[in-house]
A = this chain, B = another copy of it.
Amino acid sequence: MTIYISGFRQYVFVVRASENGKGHRVNTVRIAILGASGYSGEELLRLLLRHPQATIRCITSRQNAGQPVGKVFPRFAEARLTFSAPDAAEIAKQADVAFLALPHGTAAEYALPLLRAGVRIIDISADFRLKDAGIYKKYYRAEHPAPELLKTAVYGLPERYREQIRDAQLVACPGCYPTSILLPTCPLLAARLVQTSGIAVASLSGVSGAGRKVELPYIFPECSESVRAYSVTGHRHLPEIEQELAAAAGLTEVAITFIPHLVPVNRGIHTTVILEPLPGCTAAAVGEALQKAYAGEPFIRLLGQGGLADTKHVTFTNMCEIGYVVDEHAGRILLSSAIDNLTKGAAGQAVQCMNIMCGYAESAGLL
């Protein structure tokens, strides 16, 4: 028996027939999406509706409970799914894996009963990304609702934690900014090519990165023809970035400068990381470190020396473009990356984690 699943030609894979020759469907996973009416939820729907091995069993939205999915997202009108109010017991019956696309704080509340009921969790919120509940409290201005889970949660960045994700019960998907920063930077820190002090990052995000928020700064006339930096100190993604940069460098702490900007595109994050080289940090060494880290990765596109990323090349894909420049004039190393904030920066990465957790091809449903 040959089962053939769509995608780029080069990632086609074949699942062999079972012993008894009785062709049966590949094994599938039953999915719940909590908080499915936001933009991350919409992107999860886009990806999972066409995923060959996932069956969406349940989508929740307190506000839209009872509504067919097409009322909120007309592009999915044919999908015949209906929003329900979130109910952990009911979800536990329906689903093997639950995606939490809920606000922080709320996500943790649902994680606990679902985990107890044996549902594996892929959390897109910020609730389980930080290892330190004290830092959570400082940046999110609230006690962590389930600090006991912080230790068991695995940071859902497959290119760095693939093995841990495989068996995780609780995966905490990185934020969109962190993904765009960690993927280019960690290999250089791990290879001791750059200093851990003086790291500066300029990131530019599309407006969907703010979520489906109905607030004055996000209405069209306020965003179009506007370019602005914001939260240049204390952005909530900052501690998560620093935690993972420190881990890559083998340190307990790193402090960086992080300048997020809002720019009038719908989707995409563009990041430039400015680093100070350590002795031996040549273009060749940087290229090698990235090659070594990412050769064979299905969702990393290395642009090489002089390569500069463009969100245009990655929107609606799970790809992360990474280029680098050795700037001898100013004595700096520049890293350039681009992702789609809703795909590799949220839902796509979550599905990538799901594929790993379920033993599917890592790119299933993502090409």
Q: Which residues does A use to contact B, with CB under 8 Å? A: 1-11, 13, 15, 17-20, 22-26, 39, 49-52, 55-56, 74-75, 77-80, 198, 200, 202, 204, 206-208, 212-216, 218-230, 232-234, 238, 255-257, 259, 261, 263-270, 272, 274, 298, 301, 308-317, 319, 321, 325, 327, 329-332, 334, 336, 338, 361, 363-367
Contacts and interface: CB of A to CB of B under 8 A. Distances in A.
**Integer count of this chain's copies in the complex:** 4
A2 B223 CA distance: 43
Contacts of A330: 200, 255-257
Contact of A77 (B15, B212, B301): B301
A263 to B, nearest CB: 5
Given A330-B257, A332-B200, A265 B227 contact: yes
A19 B317 CA distance: 37
Given A78-B10, A266-B225, A219 B207 contact: yes
A291 to B, nearest CB: 15
B223 A212 contact: no
Contact of A309 (B219, B228, B269): B228
Contacts of A365: 6
Smallest CB-CB A-B distances: 3 pairs: A7-B367, A202-B202, A226-B312
A337 to B, nearest CB: 10
A79 B10 contact: yes
B6 A364 contact: yes
A4 B26 contact: yes
A321 B231 CA distance: 17
Nearest to A225: B265
A203 to B, nearest CB: 9
B266 A263 contact: no
Contacts of A331: 255
A301 B20 CA distance: 40
B268 A11 contact: no
A367 B50 contact: yes
A274 B25 contact: no
Contacts of A212: 216, 219, 221
